[in-house]
Protein backbone atom coordinates (compact mmCIF):
# COMPACT_ATOMS: atom_id res chain seq x y z
CA UNK A 1 0.00 0.00 0.00
CA UNK A 2 1.52 3.38 -0.99
CA UNK A 3 2.26 5.80 1.79
CA UNK A 4 0.89 9.35 1.55
CA UNK A 5 3.37 11.87 0.25
CA UNK A 6 4.12 15.17 1.95
CA UNK A 7 3.91 16.81 -1.46
CA UNK A 8 0.63 18.54 -2.42
CA UNK A 9 -1.34 17.02 -5.27
CA UNK A 10 -0.95 18.85 -8.60
CA UNK A 11 -4.45 20.24 -8.37
CA UNK A 12 -4.24 21.36 -4.74
CA UNK A 13 -2.75 24.60 -3.42
CA UNK A 14 0.54 24.11 -1.57
CA UNK A 15 -0.95 25.45 1.65
CA UNK A 16 -3.89 22.98 1.44
CA UNK A 17 -6.45 25.78 1.34
CA UNK A 18 -9.29 25.25 -1.10
CA UNK A 19 -9.39 27.67 -4.01
CA UNK A 20 -12.74 28.86 -5.28
CA UNK A 21 -13.80 27.09 -8.48
CA UNK A 22 -13.60 29.06 -11.71
CA UNK A 23 -17.02 30.13 -13.00
CA UNK A 24 -18.30 27.54 -15.48
CA UNK A 25 -19.97 30.18 -17.65
CA UNK A 26 -16.92 32.49 -17.68
CA UNK A 27 -13.65 30.54 -17.36
CA UNK A 28 -10.33 32.41 -17.46
CA UNK A 29 -8.74 32.80 -20.88
CA UNK A 30 -6.05 30.30 -21.85
CA UNK A 31 -2.56 31.65 -22.55
CA UNK A 32 -1.24 31.12 -26.07
CA UNK A 33 1.22 28.33 -26.75
CA UNK A 34 4.76 29.74 -27.00
CA UNK A 35 6.58 28.42 -30.07
CA UNK A 36 10.05 26.98 -29.66
CA UNK A 37 12.97 28.79 -31.32
CA UNK A 38 13.45 25.94 -33.77
CA UNK A 39 9.85 26.33 -35.01
CA UNK A 40 10.83 29.52 -36.83
CA UNK A 41 11.97 28.81 -40.40
CA UNK A 42 14.22 31.90 -40.40
CA UNK A 43 13.16 32.97 -43.90
CA UNK A 44 11.47 36.22 -42.90
CA UNK A 45 7.88 35.03 -43.21
CA UNK A 46 5.21 37.69 -42.86
CA UNK A 47 3.89 37.23 -40.28
CA UNK A 48 6.56 35.30 -38.44
CA UNK A 49 5.38 32.67 -35.96
CA UNK A 50 6.80 34.89 -33.20
CA UNK A 51 4.83 37.92 -34.44
CA UNK A 52 1.68 35.81 -34.29
CA UNK A 53 2.59 34.66 -30.78
CA UNK A 54 3.27 38.24 -29.62
CA UNK A 55 -0.16 39.34 -30.88
CA UNK A 56 -1.84 36.36 -29.19
CA UNK A 57 0.03 37.07 -25.93
CA UNK A 58 -1.08 40.70 -26.02
CA UNK A 59 -4.70 39.62 -26.55
CA UNK A 60 -4.42 37.06 -23.74
CA UNK A 61 -3.09 39.66 -21.28
CA UNK A 62 -5.87 42.07 -22.24
CA UNK A 63 -8.52 39.35 -21.91
CA UNK A 64 -7.07 38.07 -18.62
CA UNK A 65 -7.09 41.58 -17.13
CA UNK A 66 -10.72 41.99 -18.19
CA UNK A 67 -11.56 38.58 -16.70
CA UNK A 68 -9.94 39.59 -13.39
CA UNK A 69 -12.05 42.74 -13.36
CA UNK A 70 -15.14 40.52 -13.58
CA UNK A 71 -13.79 38.04 -11.01
CA UNK A 72 -11.68 39.95 -8.43
CA UNK A 73 -11.79 36.95 -6.05
CA UNK A 74 -9.08 35.35 -8.24
CA UNK A 75 -6.67 38.32 -8.29
CA UNK A 76 -4.17 36.65 -5.93
CA UNK A 77 -3.91 33.41 -7.89
CA UNK A 78 -0.81 32.95 -10.05
CA UNK A 79 -1.35 33.72 -13.71
CA UNK A 80 -1.61 30.69 -15.94
Kindly state whether residue 64 falls inside one of the protein's structural domains. yes
Q: How do residues 29-56 score in pLDDT, each as one tens digit?
A: 999 999 999 999 999 999 999 999 999 9
pTM: 0.68
Domain that holds residue 67: 46-71
Q: How do residues 6-36 score in pLDDT, each as one tens digit?
A: 444 444 455 556 667 888 899 999 999 999 9
Instruction: Give the pLDDT band of residue 77 (cuts 50, 70, 90).
Output: confident
The total number of structural domains that make up the chain: 1
d(CA 42, CA 38): 9
What pLDDT was estimated at residue 17?
61
d(CA 26, CA 47): 31
Kindly state whether residue 25 falls inside one of the protein's structural domains. no
Kindly state whether residue 65 falls inside one of the protein's structural domains. yes
d(CA 65, CA 71): 10
Amino acid sequence: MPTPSNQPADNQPADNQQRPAFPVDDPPPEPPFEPALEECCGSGCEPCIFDTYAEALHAYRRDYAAWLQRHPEFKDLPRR
